[in-house]
Amino acid sequence: MDFIVFLIQSPDQTGLVSGISSFFYERNFNIVDCQQFVDVYSKKFFMRLKLDLSGLKTSRKQLESEFQDFSAPKQLNWSVHYTDQLQKMAILVTTAPHCLYDLLVRHEQKELLCEIPVIISNRPNLESIAEKFRIPFYCLPISNKADKPRQEKLVQSLLKQHHIDLVVLARYMQILSTEFTEGYFGKIINIHHAFLPAFQGANPYRRAYERGVKMIGATAHYATPDLDEGPIIEQNVERVTHEHYPQELTQIGADVERVVLATAVKAHLERRIIITGNKTLVFS
Amino acid sequence: MDFIVFLIQSPDQTGLVSGISSFFYERNFNIVDCQQFVDVYSKKFFMRLKLDLSGLKTSRKQLESEFQDFSAPKQLNWSVHYTDQLQKMAILVTTAPHCLYDLLVRHEQKELLCEIPVIISNRPNLESIAEKFRIPFYCLPISNKADKPRQEKLVQSLLKQHHIDLVVLARYMQILSTEFTEGYFGKIINIHHAFLPAFQGANPYRRAYERGVKMIGATAHYATPDLDEGPIIEQNVERVTHEHYPQELTQIGADVERVVLATAVKAHLERRIIITGNKTLVFS
Amino acid sequence: MDFIVFLIQSPDQTGLVSGISSFFYERNFNIVDCQQFVDVYSKKFFMRLKLDLSGLKTSRKQLESEFQDFSAPKQLNWSVHYTDQLQKMAILVTTAPHCLYDLLVRHEQKELLCEIPVIISNRPNLESIAEKFRIPFYCLPISNKADKPRQEKLVQSLLKQHHIDLVVLARYMQILSTEFTEGYFGKIINIHHAFLPAFQGANPYRRAYERGVKMIGATAHYATPDLDEGPIIEQNVERVTHEHYPQELTQIGADVERVVLATAVKAHLERRIIITGNKTLVFS
Amino acid sequence: MDFIVFLIQSPDQTGLVSGISSFFYERNFNIVDCQQFVDVYSKKFFMRLKLDLSGLKTSRKQLESEFQDFSAPKQLNWSVHYTDQLQKMAILVTTAPHCLYDLLVRHEQKELLCEIPVIISNRPNLESIAEKFRIPFYCLPISNKADKPRQEKLVQSLLKQHHIDLVVLARYMQILSTEFTEGYFGKIINIHHAFLPAFQGANPYRRAYERGVKMIGATAHYATPDLDEGPIIEQNVERVTHEHYPQELTQIGADVERVVLATAVKAHLERRIIITGNKTLVFS
């Protein structure tokens, strides 16, 4: 069964729920799910609408054009998605295998509905995992700092060539350029191995150990030019004690990371996320 | 600021969101919040609608009568609530003080918006707590098994006399009669000190200890004639180890119980719960 | 770095810590870790002792014989393990791939230190996963109920042939015979996809859905002749809502199952578990 | 039943477990509980030893003097505590009632075994709560910044006058002077309403809201001259969504705060904490 998903945000105003739902009712759509939220602080309205795709009697272009006419006077900021078009997801990695494995297994089990045309790395280590799942692996090494822009260009041209919709940084240990993150705004999900905003930057488990925290965490967020400052999608934590050394924190943290990253990627693929300012709304 | 809350359930049918939201839009109501859910298994539609009460231009009777006319052909099963009418809540206890204290503190801090006209117990132990918060305490002891119906009658007449809307069994260690639970269906919340359906009945912590479980829990549910079988509202658990004896499980469990019970009572008072069959929908 | 691990249980008596630690101190062992617990109810003493293996100056036989002489008058029930001898673990599966994948990935990442000589199934479905990790896969189907004992014999002879120390039932959907579970007592770990003792037996997610629980869980336990009644090693839960259908509970539960099973298997491989009666002590 | 608790830390060396346990065995003590931990990084040894007090045949002075003789050559840093001497705990508050209520209820229920001779505040708001539990309440206001040192002197003289062993800052919204925190090192427990090191300083819930985090937390730690930088004792978190405004985060957070603070205070009162550097070991 396939669906049409509308994601809408706009200044709050009376009659939005009634107006939007009537728009689709008049066109004989079956509203499978409708979630809305009004932020009383920013006075903004948000809605996620899920329609039975089989109810579409016109072309997609026609529907979009009619909704555009409807939405313009209301200043709706909206996007539409059709679940019969699988998104294309690229995974970028360095040497840590746990998140890569997790995404590939969930993909194979149809928990993450998307295509994965490429896995890209700046190191050769994880090629055999890509092999196992028969996905092309590109090793694009960086010989020195001056070499970084050249390599990033190669990454970007691979993404373009494969029409990538979503880039997942599955423990990719390179900082992306401002131009890259801005060009893919809202389309790059990063996993940071700490409970942001605690322990931004490098070596979070080591620093968590030194600070003596009693829980460690992980955060999935959209990448922005400011490192580890982008809109947070999902977070979780696990309890630790004084008996855990940094290498054990790393292992305990890996379990948190992979579930947090998979949860965020799934929400994105299912079009359940709206970005507003530097925050996200994640619908259920 | 006060609100009108509509809770609606009905057989699923197209046009419900559009129809209901238009009903209120035509009457110039501001929809503050609207949550809906369609259960594809039972083919039932559920909605919670929160309106700004200040938008009410007619009498409440008038609004209800118009909504009744609107809803009848659609077979909507609905109720309406006005937040300017505080609900009256009775607390029933025996000897365990933690849930009683918790409810009274949250009530004093205006986290639970309701009136508490009476605390009723079959034992005298907790009178001093009721005293601290200046709430009438009725001790209605049970001398023997044959005496139970007489005491329950007294409890019920106290509830009626005080126009009680919600009865909270805050570790009340007496089984209520079928007549009582049926008469107050959906109006009695019980806290069971186990993760239902595990350890129904008596002494759950002792039995959890004997079974060697690694987590203990608590469950808040609506009381029904079948003991510990009513619709579950909220559950939670806490991790335990082999080092915890039954008395420690009791203490750890107490923290779970009071948060679970308070969460359930709050959801009920805020009219966020719809009962369907033997289950609940709890809106956020 | 390798270790000797002693697991000890006995009737409680004064001088045990002093006596045991002195035994090893006199032999110039470095006690890397020492955990003990006295159960005041059963009056039993438990200890896990971890020694630096490089401190062993005699043969292993000699050490064990001397400790036997020391322990006999104190009625110590003990076992000793050397971490330079990798345990051999067999994985039994049917059709669900998530736990199998998880164990194989953790094994590859050296999080689970053991050998995995065989994967055995009553169905052919998961062969390709075994292939990916280059581990022999045996499909031993059961044609009908009468055929079960024959197949179980084949399973057991495979286990014997490969000198298996630990059998992991990673969603193996066959009930083992009493003779099998008794013969491998304390050596078979099963994952049950519910929070035991809730929902023992078949279809726990479906039943959890029908009961309307607000959390679902998983339990890893040692297999015994009584189905789902064996000593619990590890449990965990995840929050769910009325919006989750059985197939979603299954998916959410899969994440709980694999972490719970891996945690239990790791504790067993690291010799951190003592079974006492129908319970476990799991040392940290 | 009463106990003697020894807390010991020292440079790691062979024979410590054997030596210490033999010291007490020779004096016919029953070791009720013994936990030890060797930090392989800092090469430090830690032990908590719990003895049955009724086994003490000499004076306490005598025991301590003998243990001092024993420990000196081993460079043991130790302290001893007798559970028949109730500690005296002062609670400092400002206007938030939830932690104060929680501590007083747990104290009344004998979950926190201590005396509470005084509650001190810089504001009059919470006097009625102290009244309910019949504990002296001192309101020591601060008229302006210059007035702060004078008020702190009054606080300190109250603490001295009442022989206070432990100061609990239960949402006391004043920064203590370096002289105060150093004078009471390891004897002041503060609750910070954020998951440290995230959101140190003022208004953590507001800042958590603005950052769009998906979980909020609380941290109990020993107070040091560096604000919110002291050794962490306990932390916990609760999940939140985009639907929660700052005032709701405050309410959700309050539940986390009070359990985290109570857990830390309980561990301190039961002498289960050893401070090492800027970290804590919390024994179970």
Task: Pull the structure tokens for residue D95.
Answer: 């206007």
Chain-chain contact of A30 with B14 (C-beta, under 8 angstroms): yes
Chain-chain contact of C32 with D21 (C-beta, under 8 angstroms): no
ipTM value greater than 0.90:
yes
Q: In this complex, which of A37, A212, A278 lies closest to D278 when CB atoms are compared?
A: A212
Chain-chain contact of B18 with A15 (C-beta, under 8 angstroms): no
| Per-residue confidence band for D107, with pLDDT thresholds at 50, 70 and 90 | very high
Inter-chain CB pairs, A–D, below 8 Å: 83
- The pLDDT of A176-205, averaged and rounded, is 94
pLDDT at B133: 97
Q: D interface mutation test: which of C13, C17, C27 has the most D CBs within 10 A?
A: C17
Nearest-by-CA chain C residue for D31: C14
Q: In this complex, which of D22, D36, D239 lies closest to C18 when CB atoms are compared?
A: D22
Q: Which residues of A carry out catalysis?
A: 228
Q: In this complex, which of B22, B35, B37 lies closest to A18 when CB atoms are compared?
A: B22
CB atoms within 10 A of CB C113: 13
pLDDT at B1: 87
pLDDT at D206: 92
Helix (H, G, I), strand (E, B) or coil at B131: helix
pLDDT at A178: 97
| Per-residue confidence band for D204, with pLDDT thresholds at 50, 70 and 90 | very high
| Peptide linkage before B124 cis (omega within 30 of 0) | no
* Domains of chain C by start residue, with CATH: 3-82 (3.30.70.260), 88-282 (3.40.50.170)
Helix (H, G, I), strand (E, B) or coil at A6: strand
Dump pLDDT digits (tens) for A65-123: 999 999 999 999 999 999 999 999 999 999 999 999 999 999 999 999 999 999 999 99
| Alpha-carbon span D97 to D95, nearest angstrom | 6
Q: Which residues of B touch C212 (CB under 8 A)?
A: 231-232, 278-280
Q: Among D245, D241, D235, D261, which Cα is nearest to D206's?
A: D245
Task: Indicate the DSSP class of residue D59.
Answer: -
Q: Which residues of A touch C108 (CB under 8 A)?
A: 97
Which uninterrupted H or E stretch holds C34? strand C31-39
Q: Which residues of D touch B97 (CB under 8 A)?
A: 105, 108-109
Q: Which residues of chain B have pLDDT under 70?
A: none
User: In angstroms, what separates the C-alpha of B132 from chain D's closest C-alpha?
Assistant: 6
Q: In this complex, which of C109, C133, C255 lies closest to A259 when CB atoms are compared?
A: C255
The burial of A192, by beta-carbon neighbours within 10 Å (0-12 exposed, 13-18 middle, 19 or more buried), is given as: buried
Q: In this complex, which of C18, C33, C239 lies closest to D25 when CB atoms are compared?
A: C18
Q: Among B233, B215, B97, which Cα is nearest to B166's?
A: B233
| Alpha-carbon span A233 to A281, nearest angstrom | 8
Backbone angles phi, psi at A196, to 5 degrees: -60, 145
| Alpha-carbon span C182 to C184, nearest angstrom | 5
Which residues make beta-bridge pairs with D88? D115
Chain-chain contact of C35 with D35 (C-beta, under 8 angstroms): yes
Q: Among C174, C168, C192, which Cα is nearest to C256's?
A: C192
Dump pLDDT digits (tens) for D242-281: 999 999 999 999 999 999 999 999 999 999 999 999 999 9
Chain-chain contact of A109 with C97 (C-beta, under 8 angstroms): yes
User: In angstroms, what separates the C-alpha of A46 from chain D's closest C-alpha?
Assistant: 11
Q: In this complex, which of D111, D133, D251 lies closest to B111 when CB atoms are compared?
A: D251
pLDDT beyond 90 at A41? no
Given a contact cutoff of 8 angstroms between Cβ atoms, the answer to whether B254 and B247 are in contact is: no
User: In angstroms, what separates the C-alpha of A227 from chain B's closest C-alpha?
Assistant: 33
| Alpha-carbon span D114 to D111, nearest angstrom | 9
- The pLDDT of D61-81, averaged and rounded, is 97
Amino acid of residue A30:
N
Chain-chain contact of C28 with D14 (C-beta, under 8 angstroms): yes
Q: What chains are in contact with C, requiring at least 3 Cβ pairs below 8 Å?
A: A, B, D
Report the predicted TM-score, pTM, of the whole model to 2 decimal places: 0.95
pLDDT at C108: 97
pLDDT at C30: 87
Task: Pull the structure tokens for residue B162.
Answer: 């005080």
Q: Which residues of chain C have pLDDT under 70?
A: none
| D255 among known catalytic residues | no
| Per-residue confidence band for D40, with pLDDT thresholds at 50, 70 and 90 | confident
Dump pLDDT digits (tens) for C220-242: 999 999 988 999 999 999 999 99
Helix (H, G, I), strand (E, B) or coil at B210: helix
User: In angstroms, what separates the C-alpha of D61 from chain B's closest C-alpha?
Assistant: 32
Q: Which residues of B touch C243 (CB under 8 A)?
A: 37
pLDDT at A225: 93
Given a contact cutoff of 8 angstroms between Cβ atoms, the answer to whether D193 and D218 are in contact is: yes
Dump pLDDT digits (tens) for D125-179: 999 999 999 999 999 999 999 999 999 999 999 999 999 999 999 999 999 999 9
pLDDT at C18: 92
Chain-chain contact of B17 with A35 (C-beta, under 8 angstroms): no
Reported as half-sphere exposure (CB side, CA atoms, 13 A), residue A133 has a value of 23
pLDDT at A32: 87
Q: Which residues of A touch D37 (CB under 8 A)?
A: 242-243
pLDDT at B30: 87
Cα A164 from chain centre:
13
Task: Pull the structure tokens for residue D199.
Answer: 């959101």
Chain-chain contact of A109 with C132 (C-beta, under 8 angstroms): no
> Which residues lie below 8 Å from residue B72, measured CB to CB, with a gap of 6+?
none
Q: A interface mutation test: which of B16, B17, B32, B51 has the most A CBs within 10 A?
A: B17
Least confident of A168-172, D37-41, D187-191: D37-41
pLDDT beyond 90 at A30? no
Vertex A242 angle, CA A238 and A248, to 5°: 60
Length reported for chain D: 284
Q: Which residues of D touch C239 (CB under 8 A)?
A: 239
Task: Pull the structure tokens for residue B40.
Answer: 């594809």
Amino acid of residue A269:
L
Given a contact cutoff of 8 angstroms between Cβ atoms, the answer to whether A141 and A151 are in contact is: yes
Angle between helix B16-26 and helix B60-71 axes, rounded to 10 deg: 150
